Amino acid sequence: MDDTIAAIATAPGAGGIAVVRISGPQAEAIAIHLFRMKNGRRPVLETHHLYYGHILSPEGGAIIDEVMIALMRSPRSYTGEDVLEIHGHGGYLLPQRILEEVLKAGARLAEPGEFTKRAFLNNRMDLSQAEAVADMIAAQTDRGLELAQAQYQGRLSGSIEKLHAELTDILALLEAAIDFVEDIDDLPEDKSIPKRLQNIIQDLNRLAASYREGKIFKDGVSVVIAGRTNVGKSSLLNYFLGEQRAIVTPIPGTTRDFIEEPVRIHDIVVRLTDTAGIRKTEETIEQAGIDLVWQRVAAADAVLILLDGSEEMMAEDREIIEKLRGKPLIPVVNKADLPQTLSEEEISRILPGKVAIRISAKYGNGLEDLQEAIYRHFCRNRSDNHPSTDIITHLRHRLAIEKAVFHLCEATAGAVRDVSPELTAADLRDALDALEEIIGKTANDMILARIFASFCIGK
């Protein structure tokens, strides 16, 4: 925290503007060393002002780039330290040249996420807000961005802090009973402690249960298209993508390897995987592709089982469905443009309780219904009119909440049984520690390193 870090903060490649960001005690000195006004003078910098001029090479005085710079003095900056931003022309070479001069002037290259890590360590944001920075950058849908922004603005932190304050009040009550046991025979509020703890447990359980939905909106879902040969798996993928991504022929076994592509369905990203047609074969390469099918199925969030509506259900269809028992299935009947032979009764017998979507992958008939079925499969409890932002999107948060709930259940049981208040107080402290992990009050170096390692350099 005593040194000065620097990195290119914008995405690499051609662009109108590139930003080199510098943070630390040497930020202003580096600006004075490298920057000259248009009249050739060294700048006298005021905080939060833009200055126009050139970045020069101190060794030869050559102009590297025409830039705008801004110095943001501590603590009114992103990191809470002195921060200098150099706004130059985009591209591959110019930003790198500026960064090289900055490093020569005394800065070091920032580690991934180090600017945001310093913002956290300098109390500019809590740990859940720092995680939300990466989530906003990585968001691929409006809903994913909405959840990330809500977390960055402190929605999750506020909920945790409210529950933390309630627990602290209960702990203070217990500690008063412990410290002044000889002076206070009975505290009237003692009887309310189990009920108050139960209310907190309910709130935490609701928050933990929201992780499934939050993960879907943050990370998307994986859906494998499976079925026997020539039922239209590749045609379906191509239609979703709007291009000829997978080769389509009437020859069985055309698809040997899997093809995975993301598609956006409403506000979730669905990673669709086209797989080899499943059948018995002696052909080594085709069999390797079929083996990959089952690997992808094992890792998928759901399987779209594709059947041919123009034919009777075959033994291969039945074998595939039997192997998929226990997996979340979305049955789809393709080739609705042809006379239908496969009946609803037959589908119901082998897939009880499932309603198949009839489509034509060749002409696009029924594709909107299929998209809606996929969306509702993952977001069946979603209210479009009043979408909630009280949702957690990180496994770390869910595990910390579950740990807190465990200790609160122990504390509640102890309070009901009228055990020693010291034991109940110990459980409450453990629950408080678990909640503090979410916002970073008790996060250790290993947790911080794992979180910020996922960030891009420059953020």
417-459: pLDDT as tens digits: 877 888 889 999 999 999 999 998 877 777 788 888 888 888 8
Q: Residue 56 is part of which domain span?
A: 5-110
Taking the CA atoms of residue 421, residue 423, residue 428 and residue 432 in that order, the dihedral angle to the nearest 10 degrees is: 140
Quick check: 51 and 69 in contact, CB under 8 A? yes
Give the DSSP letter of residue 111: P
CATH of the domain at 143: 1.20.120.430
- The 10s digit of each residue's pLDDT in 190-235 is 578 889 999 999 999 999 999 998 999 999 999 988 888 878 888 8
Quick check: 147 and 393 in contact, CB under 8 A? yes
* Of 1, 24, 21, the residue nearest 9 (C-alpha): 21
Single-letter amino acid code for the residue at 53: G
Boundary residue ending a domain (52, 78, 110): 110
Q: Do 327 and 254 share a structural domain?
A: yes
Boundary residue ending a domain (343, 378, 413): 378
Q: Do 152 and 255 share a structural domain?
A: no
Q: How confident is the model at residue 278 (pLDDT cuts 50, 70, 90)?
A: low
Indicate the pTM of the whole model.
0.79
Give the DSSP letter of residue 234: H
- The 10s digit of each residue's pLDDT in 164-175 is 999 999 988 888
Which residues are within 8 A (CB) of 131 and not within 5 positions of it... i.e. 6 or more apart?
Answer: 151, 394, 451
Q: Do 182 and 254 share a structural domain?
A: no
Cis amide linkage into residue 112, ω under 30° from 0: no
Q: Which residue do the tokens 């580096």 mark?
A: 30
Counted domains in the chain: 3
Q: Do 149 and 96 share a structural domain?
A: no
Highest mean pLDDT out of 58-62, 206-210, 312-316:
206-210
Q: How confident is the model at residue 399 (pLDDT cuts 50, 70, 90)?
A: very high
Q: Do 336 and 190 share a structural domain?
A: no
Quick check: 234 and 255 in contact, CB under 8 A? yes
The per-residue pLDDT of the chain, averaged, comes to 86
* Of 217, 335, 304, the residue nearest 266 (C-alpha): 217
Q: Do 226 and 373 share a structural domain?
A: yes
Q: Do 305 and 243 share a structural domain?
A: yes
DSSP states of 311-334: SPPPHHHHHHHHHTTTS-EEEEEE
Cα gap 426→445, rounded to integer Å:
24
Cα gap 383→230, rounded to integer Å:
38
Q: How confident is the model at residue 255 (pLDDT cuts 50, 70, 90)?
A: very low
